[in-house]
Amino acid sequence: MKLREEEVRVGDIRTLVLRPVDDRKWPGLLLYTDIFQLTESTLRTARRLASAGFVVAVPEIYPHGPLAGVALEFDDAGKQRGLDGAAATTTASFDADRTAVLDYLHQRDDVSRLFVTGFCIGGHLAFRAAFDPRVAATVCFYPTGLHNGALGADADAGSIRRAAEIQGRLLIVFGSRDPHVPADARLFILNELYAAGLTDLEAHVYTGGEHAFMRDVGPRHDPALTDRALAEAVAFFHES
Which positions are annotated as active-site residues?
120, 178, 211
Spatial contact of 171 and 200, defined as CB atoms under 8 Å apart: no
- 233 contact partners, CB below 8 Å, separation of at least 6: 49, 117, 139, 141, 171, 173
Strand partners, 135: 114
Q: What are phi and psi of 195, to 5 degrees?
A: -65, -30
Q: Pick the closest to residue 87 from 143, 161, 145, 162 (CA basis).
A: 145
Q: Residue 60 carries which side chain, given as an amino acid letter?
A: E
Grouping H, G, I as helix, E, B as strand and the rest as coil, residue 226 is helix
Cα radius of gyration rounded to whole Å, the chain: 16
Q: How far apart are CA 233 and CA 231, in angstroms?
A: 5
